[in-house]
Amino acid sequence: MKKTLRKTIVAFAVIATLTTGCRSTDEYKKFAKAGSEYANAVDKLLEAASDIRIDTTSEQLLRNDRILNQTIEDYKKLTEPDEKRLEVIGKLRKHNELLREYFRLLNELASSDAPTRAQGEITGVVNNLNKIGKELQGSDLITNPGLLQGITNLVVSSQIRGALRDELEKRNRTIMLELTIQKEMLKALGDSIEQDAKLIRIAEEERFVIRPLIEDTEIADKDAWIETRREILIRERRGKELKNASNALGKFQEVFQGLVEGTLSLTRLNSFLQDVDNFLQLVEADKKAK
């Protein structure tokens, strides 16, 4: 509730800024905060993607074991792809954390009269961001590498001035590239989450719902069975919601581009903030359900 209220306050602050007819430093500070919220939401999504991937493989192992007793080799064959995927997700989380730090420093540039320290820190952050970004470009989650080659420099709006303008002129293409990498990977992960959630639902429904139902003995705790069935079916819906959230979060690239070019509207920014807020509420609901 507090997070929702805080985002509402941010939205009203942005309204006050945009309706003045000119873009002030405060607007870019609010955008930097939105960038931090974005990074926070992405991190939670990546955490969910890791958990769902592990659970999917666990269900597959149990399913295979019911058919034929599994060996160590069978186990490794199924878990090795998981280890590779988790390694990629781990790198993406580091990449995301660096983006969070970049937007924090962007906030300093927008609000400080002495931005030299922030400028120096940004150089180190962006260098590390580029390094991890290049590693991520080789991931199987990047299904359209050609898309990354077509990114060009943006024309920085004349409304942006000072150290912030210098930074955006220097690195807007770099940040667009890194945000595009995240966007493409989030989209691929969203598709994977939806598919994995469906597989988990099928496996759990068989184990916890169908098997007790078709046994000769009557189900002892009928209320518990009903609740379990409901939770399992809802969990698949959560997978679809997480996929939609991954697509929504990927749109932050468009928000950043709009800020740089001076075309970011109040409606667009508020819409994105609402998407982030909706996702965080979804995550909180999942935690309470467990």
Q: What is the pLDDT of residues 265-288, one digit of tens each?
A: 878 888 888 888 888 887 777 666
Task: Output the pLDDT for position 286.
Answer: 67
Question: Confidence band (pLDDT; 50, 70, 90) for 164?
Answer: confident
Percent of the chain scored above 90 by pLDDT? 57
Q: What is the mean pLDDT of residues 26-45?
A: 81
Q: What is the mean pLDDT of residues 140-153?
A: 90
Q: Range with the lowest mean pLDDT among 39-48, 82-91, 105-114, 195-204?
A: 105-114
Domain locations in the chain? 2-289
Question: Confidence band (pLDDT; 50, 70, 90) for 235?
Answer: confident
pTM: 0.83
Is the pLDDT at 106 greater than 80, yes or no?
A: yes
Instruction: Give yes or no for a contact between 142 and 181, defined as CB atoms under 8 angstroms apart.
Output: yes
Task: Output the pLDDT for position 279.
Answer: 82
Task: Output the pLDDT for position 288.
Answer: 62
Instruction: Give yes or no for a contact between 103 and 179, defined as CB atoms under 8 angstroms apart.
Output: no
Question: Confidence band (pLDDT; 50, 70, 90) for 206?
Answer: very high
Task: Output the pLDDT for position 114.
Answer: 65
Question: Confidence band (pLDDT; 50, 70, 90) for 17?
Answer: very low
Residues 49-86: tens digit of each pLDDT: 999 999 999 999 999 999 999 999 999 999 999 999 99
Q: What is the mean pLDDT of residues 119-133?
A: 94
